Amino acid sequence: MEGKDDILGQPSPKRPRRTWRDRCSGISIIILLVCSTLASYCLIGSHLGWTKSRFTADGVTRAVGHVVWGSCDTWSLPRAECGSIIVPLDYFDRDAGTASIALARYPASKTPKKGIVLFNPGGPGGSGKFFIARAGPALQAVVGEDYDVVGFDPRGIGESEPKTQCFDGDLSYTTFARNTILARSYDTASNLSLPEARDRLVIDYLEADALYHTQFDICRKTMGDKLKYMGTSTVVRDIDFITTQLEGPEAFINFYGFSYGTILGQYLVNMFPDRIGRVAIDGVADAVVWATKPYYTWYKDWLSSTTPAYDIFLTRCSEVGPAICPLAKKTGEDPSRIRDRIEVFVDGLYYKPIPVPFAGTPGVLTSGRARMYLLMALQRPSNWQVASAGLAQAIAGNGTFVMDATELVFGDDMARQAVSCNDNAPFKVPPAEEVVDALLDVFHNVSRLGLAVVTTEPDAGCQYWPVTPPERFQGPWNHTLSSPILILSNSADPVTPISSGKLVNKLLGSSSRLLVQDSPGHCTLALPSSCTLNATRSYFADGTLPAEGTVCKTDFPPFSDPEELASAFASGEEGQRLEAQAQLEQILPLARRGLPFDQVLLV
């Protein structure tokens, strides 16, 4: 797409963005001014011929750019507004049709209003609509009450249309994947010799590879070319389009992304560097390898902070003792002894899995599932007391809690893969031995949980992706931005390591500032920190960046006493904002996985 403008007049990633003044002259400028005054959708609709494109749903026909707001469902907060916007299906092909992007908005409670902040909770597959409708005031505690906070369901996800729906009829993706390697993960034991482990894992990988091939063949048959419009590059153009429609053609883009949302943020600031207002990314993933390298090469860097997070879990378990962390035998026990008990149990499952007849979905607890459980648990230190109790039950012979926690719960159908595979540069089908050797390298040299990430973060198999997106942004990643962005990383994030935050900060140079929160968990919201919260509010208030090298502590450590937390949250405005952070920690994982808000995540 280099050197080519899309049909809305937006630049390709390789060209600097031109303002409307550069693109228009004479009567065109007059038309734009009139349209932006009367209705924002007139700007793009009539000026560029989009009035001929329509989206029809439930008997109602709407033009591109048309926004509808109304009430939300019963699960939403009272002041939340829900709706949708009609966007081009393909920004480079007027004849391709249209898409409908689901929206939610929680209006500012203070004046004068600064504008809007768009949010993405992560995934890919997370619902921004549900996130805002359920967590609007808590998000305003982070960015400021003088912003409208707006969420959207990205292409193919949630209530946006067309929706990624590869499996139809009586066959769901959950049914297809259940009890396969895609759900139970890879089984191995740390005491196996390298040849033994390699031989077993090659067999497992060949099963997984056949399943990947099968699922994407099904996608090709049921969805066809609709699949190619779900990639991050297209979603970024939707963000630009939504901002223009809601705020006007000269508005800067304000955005806050968590986890995968940080990849979306990196695409955004490098595709539209001259349109950036206030952008924060939290729990940073490496967009460079995401876009350019095969999935099995990602994990060595992805899990580089996993062992430090695990060490904190074990140390804190020892400090609080068995009354709060039942994995410990006594308060002050050597953390290595706790680790050894866990490792012996997990290795033992390789040789003798535990039957779990009374789980929500009965099955067997294997070493692969147990490692999935641990990796998922490390992401939520606020829940370590519950997670440790569940693992202690499994060690005692009852695997129900662990089995339920690791049941396949990632969003709807294959919405995640539709994003990651559209983004990923094509690569040839790799030899099984090459993939297994890469995974074993992570297992032995980075983290014993290294095999679990393949299934807890299901992006594998893109070598069989059946379509080519209209645009696949692959850099450069080092643009000079109209405004610097804020990068937030935990020092011990088990799945989006501090190294990724440092990389983005290095690439963007003076166009970014990195704030490190000294804590475990996925994203800084994993534990409340008034230091991080105040820095983020200051940034969104007036662009103030934290001092170079800022490291924030958390207000409470993992395994904190619930009564102590409740007392702290009850005290003053600062306590209320910390409580808002804690609420977001509960809601964010649900939104990220595209799950209903009446569901409880066990880890």
Rounded to the nearest integer, the mean pLDDT of the chain is 90
27 pLDDT above the threshold of 90: no
pLDDT, greater one: 47 or 419? 419
Q: How many CA atoms lie within 13 A of 71 on its CB side?
A: 4
pLDDT at 374: 98
pLDDT at 61: 81
**Is-contact 530 555, C-beta < 8 A?**
yes
Q: Two tokens at 287? A: 């967009």
Domain that holds residue 541: 75-87+101-162+232-294+478-592
pLDDT at 99: 97
Specify if 81 maps to a domain. yes
Specify if 282 maps to a domain. yes
Q: Residue 117: CB partners within 8 Å, gap ≥ 6?
A: 139, 143, 147, 148, 149, 150, 254, 255, 256, 278, 540
pLDDT at 529: 96
Three-state DSSP at 381 gives helix
In this structure, is the dihedral angle defined by the CA atoms of residues 489, 493, 496 and 497, taken in order, positive or negative?
A: positive
**Is-contact 427 178, C-beta < 8 A?**
no
Q: Two tokens at 372? A: 């999935």
The pLDDT-based confidence of 28 (bands split at 50, 70, 90) is very low
Hunting for tokens 């793009």 — which residue is that? 44
**Is-contact 15 3, C-beta < 8 A?**
yes
Give the count of domains, the chain: 1
The pLDDT-based confidence of 566 (bands split at 50, 70, 90) is confident
β-strand partners of 356 = 363
Specify if 28 maps to a domain. no
Q: Residue 37: CB partners within 8 Å, gap ≥ 6?
A: none
Three-state DSSP at 457 gives coil
Specify if 183 maps to a domain. no
Q: How far apart are CA 598 and CA 28, in angstroms?
A: 51
**Is-contact 291 424, C-beta < 8 A?**
yes
Specify if 536 maps to a domain. yes
pTM (two decimals): 0.91
Q: What are phi and psi of 408, to 5 degrees?
A: -60, 110
pLDDT in tens, 359-416: 998 999 999 999 999 999 999 999 999 999 999 999 999 999 999 999 876 557 899 9
For residue 140, what is the domain's CATH number?
3.40.50.1820
Specify if 266 maps to a domain. yes
Burial class (CB in 10 A: 0-12, 13-18, 19+), 238: buried
Q: Two tokens at 548? A: 């170079």
pLDDT at 51: 44
Specify if 535 maps to a domain. yes
Hunting for tokens 């109602």 — which residue is that? 60
Specify if 576 maps to a domain. yes
The pLDDT-based confidence of 22 (bands split at 50, 70, 90) is very low
